[in-house]
Copies of this chain bind each other. A is one copy, B any other.
Amino acid sequence: MLGVCYYPEHWGTEKVEEDFRRMKELGIEYVRIGEFAWSRIESERGKFNWDWLDKTLELAEKMGLKIVLGTPTATPPKWLIDEHPEILPVDKDGRVKNFGSRRHYCFSSPVYREEVKRIVTIIVKRYGKHPAVAGWQTDNEYGCHDTVRCYCPRCKKAFQKWLERKYEGDIKKLNEAWGTVFWSQEYRSFDEIELPNLTPADPNPSHLLDYYRLASDQVVEFNKLQVEIIREYSPGRFITHNFMSGFTDFDHYKLSKDLDFATWDNYPLGHTLVFLRMKGETKNPFDRVGHPDIISFSHDLYRGVGRGRFWVMEQQAGPVNWAPYNLWPAKGAVRLWTWQAFAHGAEVVSYFRWRQAPFAQEQMHSGLLAPDSAPYPGYHEVKQVFEELKNIDINEPVESEVALVFDYETAWVFSIQPHGEGVNYIDLVFRFYSALRRLGLNVDIVPPGSSLDGYKMIVVPSLAIVKEEVLDTFKKYDGLLVLGPRSGSKTETFQIPPEMPPGLLKEIIPVEVRQVESLGDNVETLVWNGKEYPVSIWREDVDPTITEVIARFKDGFGAIFRKENVFYLAFWPNGDFLVDFFEALSKESGIETKRMPEGVRIQRRGEYVFSFNFTSEEVDLEIPTKVQIVLGDQKIPPYGLLIWKENER
């Protein structure tokens, strides 16, 4: 199904009716509104202006559009900030941030939490049972603009309380856990503990990790406050939040537990460019369409975060304004992205935004319509999708034979202690993920600790901290299990495990990491299966006497270790190696693979098989005989797609 993001407060009610009519024509079913409208709802304390919103909902109901109503808490209005300046967050350098954009609040502020409860209660009480309201979005893109980690006095107090709870009121436990004997960092009480910023040298990594956890928990709590109110006053409506791609500052699984499903905001061009720059690459061959795996990684991740259910809440529909540079998408890209989302299991794809605003910060961020209401190219592609959808029934769930374990704590561990240039958890995960996709495999992304039943192969790019219950899932699993470098390398409080890395994982793979090295751009040569592969960034020196070494570096160090069904990769693997390696493992596991051409990807959902061409050239795809093509042609045009049903499967 299709949706759209819309700001009735920008246009006046007279225009809303016409807009709704045109949305219906385009096949839109869901309209997200309201998430930045606090000052329009409550222009000063206690002065509410409901007219425009009442009218909007009334029109939606009349025209059969379903509303996703946003809570407006990402943008507290000026009068509120002036009443309580302590709502403003403080950055790592100690600077109080200012009103004048968005997300200018601290998640820990008690006074802001009270105000959030107040405004959400008022709005939900008013509209919670409105027939047009199908569901709710809490706030907007939690953490955007680096706002999860705040360094204000409220956060310091919250951190102290959080630590006191975690360490059961016993400061000795904290001292032990953090190793504060090092550098005389010992504390006598929880209220002595500072936030871990502005230290002359690096802060204690245990201190940082606990602070990152607290900051993540504050977001979860902040969201839960809202969820509880919505549950109470808006029965039968769903609750979701629009997450950001590639963002790891809080634990999305944990927050998502309070939601009915996940949604995410899909901007393929900017995300691809930013991802490539993070890796130091300057060329972007996918500049007008985005890299298929960078996009689908988020689809698969948020399907996991949403426990099988997700939407794209904001789908790029034309050029945007925030990337280092902003191209307009290739002709066909908007249609391609939409079908890709459905192929990966999206229930709804909701475009951002209905009409480009001619004013303020996002005036150069396009939508389906230009400011003068004329359609942009993307509009016509949406129309096409709407027509195509009439013949294709896509409600079945996505099923995968392979699962990849993605973990937020590991992202924090790597960022706290990269130990060398290029060490970045997302980069590592993407290497594993993309290799699987190059083999034509569906991939589920799952949190550590989730059930692994039914999967034929499990891939763990890295899991720095291993909990007993996670280990149990690994122990119970009898398919092939691949563990990447730095797995099990830290205890829960960021220490090297007493049994040495991989710590608890030694129970399933009896290796012992004696030393590690970060390589930067230095290249060592891995030899596996008679072939050589360059390795940079990271390598480990594993005790070679314990288990089977199935591949070595040219200089003799062990690289790949195996014990029964479990593999340990003691290095930062590159994509070409992983494709070869996973191909071999898939064969052993009875998983059928098919090497995809560069930029071409395949995804299965229910009885449908989708093939996407993210290149600027026509692709002549080899497809199985006796399939029923339901959309497109075996010769897939640039930025085109092909859908078939596998009748005989």
Residues of B within 8 A of A144 (CB): 201
Stretch with Cβ within 8 A of B (4 or more), from A20-28, A91-99, A579-587: A91-99
Inter-chain contact B100/A185, CB cutoff 8 Å: yes
Q: Is A48 an interface residue (CB 8 A)?
A: no
Which residues of chain B are near A195, meaning CB under 8 Å? 98
Q: Which of A129-137, A358-366, A603-611 contacts B (4 or more CB under 8 A)?
A: A358-366
Chain B residues whose C-beta falls within 8 Å of the C-beta of A77 in the assembled complex: 184, 186
Residue of B nearest to A79 (CB): B188
Measured between beta carbons, the chain B residues less than 8 angstroms from A275 are none
A196 CA / B565 CA spacing, docked (Å): 59
Q: Are A326 and B500 in contact (CB under 8 A)?
A: no
Cα of A287 to Cα of B522 in the assembled complex, Å: 9
* A104: B residues at CB distance < 8 A: 199-200
Restricting to A469-504, which residues have a CB under 8 Å from any CB of B? 494-500
Beyond A104-B199, A204-B100, whether A178 also contacts B359 by CB under 8 A is yes
Main secondary structure of the interface of A (DSSP, over half): loop
- How far does the Cβ of A30 sit from chain B's closest Cβ, in whole Å? 22
The reply to whether A98 and B197 form a contact with Cβ atoms under 8 Å apart is yes
* Per-residue contact bits, chain A 387-427, to B (CB 8 Å; 1 contact, 0 not): 00000000000000000000000000000010111100000
Decide yes or no: A82 and B192 within 8 Å by CB, A93-B95, A419-B321 being known contacts. Answer: yes
Given contacts A97-B199, A372-B500, contact A36 B184 (CB under 8 A): yes
Expressed in whole angstroms, the Cα–Cα distance for A82 and B518 within the complex equals 38
What are the residues of chain B within 8 A of A518 when measuring CB–CB? 325-327
For the complex, give the distance between the alpha carbons of A7 and B518 in Å. 26
- For residue A507, CB closer than 8 A to chain B, the reply is no
Best-surrounded residue of A72, A356, A360, A371 (most CB of chain B within 10 A): A360
Least CB separation from A102: chain B residue: B183
Looking at A37-45, A110-118, A295-303, the stretch in contact with chain B turns out to be A37-45
A188 to chain B: which residues have CB within 8 Å? 43-44, 78-79
Most chain B CB inside 10 Å of its own CB: which residue of A43, A94, A99: A99
- Contact of A576 with B by CB under 8 A: no
Q: Which of A133-183 contact B (CB under 8 A)?
A: 144-147, 178-183
Complex CA–CA separation, A9 to B202 (angstroms): 21
Question: A541: CB under 8 A from chain B?
Answer: yes
Within 8 Å CB of A93, what residues of B?
93, 95
A62 lies within 8 A of chain B by Cβ: no
Q: How far is A371 from B512 in the complex, measured between Cα atoms in Å?
A: 13
Residue contact B372 to A499, C-beta cutoff 8 Å: yes
Task: Write out the residue numbers on chain B whose beta carbons fall within 8 Å of the beta carbon of A500.
Answer: 370-372
**In the complex, which of the residues B185, B194, B205, B371 contacts A496, with contact meaning CB atoms closer than 8 Å?**
B371
Nearest Cβ on chain B to A325's Cβ, whole angstroms: 3
Contact B198 A96 (CB under 8 A): yes
A372 and B198: CB pair below 8 A?
Answer: no
Interface status of A515 (Cβ within 8 A of chain B): yes
Chain B residue at minimal CB-CB distance from A330: B555
Could you tell me if A515 and B204 are in contact, using CB atoms closer than 8 angstroms? Answer: no
A558 part of interface (Cβ distance < 8 Å): no
**Minimum Cβ distance to chain B for residue A299 (Å):** 26
Q: Establish whether residues B183 and A361, one from each chain, have CB atoms under 8 Å apart when the complex forms.
A: yes
State the Cβ distance, A147 to closest chain B Cβ, in Å: 6
The interface centre, meaning the residue of A325, A374, A494 with most chain B CB atoms within 10 A of its CB, is: A325
Size range of the chain A interface in the assembly: 35 or more
CB of A376 to closest CB in B, whole Å: 7
Give the residue of B78, B94, B362 whose beta carbon is less than 8 angstroms from that of A186.
Answer: B78
With a cutoff of 8 Å between Cβ atoms, the chain B residues found around residue A36 in the complex are: 182-184
Is the beta-carbon distance between B98 and A421 smaller than 8 angstroms? no
Name the B residues within 8 Å of A541 (CB-CB). Answer: 328
The answer to whether A40 touches B359 (Cβ under 8 A) is no
For A420, the chain B residues whose CB sits under 8 A away are: 324-326
Residue of B98, B198, B325 touching A95 (CB-CB under 8 A): B198
Shortest distance in angstroms between A137's beta carbon and chain B's nearest beta carbon? 16
- Complex CA–CA separation, A77 to B186 (angstroms): 7
Contact A78 B517 (CB under 8 A): no
Asked, given contacts A360-B182, A361-B202, A499-B372, whether A520 binds B325 with beta carbons under 8 Å apart, the answer is: yes
Smallest CB–CB gap between A428 and chain B, Å? 15
Interfacial chain B residues near A326, Cβ < 8 Å: 419-420, 517-518
Residue A438 interfacial (CB < 8 Å): no
Residues of B within 8 A of A496 (CB): 356, 358-359, 363, 371
Which B residues are in CB contact (< 8 Å) with A421? 324-325
**A89 CB-CB contact with B under 8 Å:** yes
Give the most central of A328, A376, A498: most B CB within 10 Å: A328
Residues of B within 8 A of A324 (CB): 420-421, 520
Which B residues are CB-close (under 8 A) to A498?
358, 371-372
Instruction: Tell me which residues from 561 to 588 in chain A have a Cβ below 8 Å from any Cβ of chain B.
Output: none
Cβ B180 vs Cβ A98 within 8 A: no
New A-B pairs, 16, CB < 8 Å, besides A101-B185, A144-B201: A7-B182, A36-B182, A36-B184, A39-B185, A40-B181, A78-B185, A93-B93, A95-B198, A97-B198, A100-B185, A100-B203, A178-B360, A182-B359, A358-B496, A370-B514, A371-B500
The 3 closest A-B pairs by CB, nearest first: A179-B359, A182-B360, A325-B520
29 A-B pairs (CB sep. < 8 Å): A39-B181, A39-B186, A78-B185, A78-B188, A79-B188, A82-B192, A93-B93, A98-B198, A99-B194, A100-B185, A100-B194, A101-B204, A180-B360, A204-B361, A205-B363, A206-B359, A319-B517, A321-B417, A325-B419, A325-B518, A326-B420, A327-B518, A327-B519, A328-B541, A359-B496, A363-B494, A364-B417, A371-B498, A377-B515
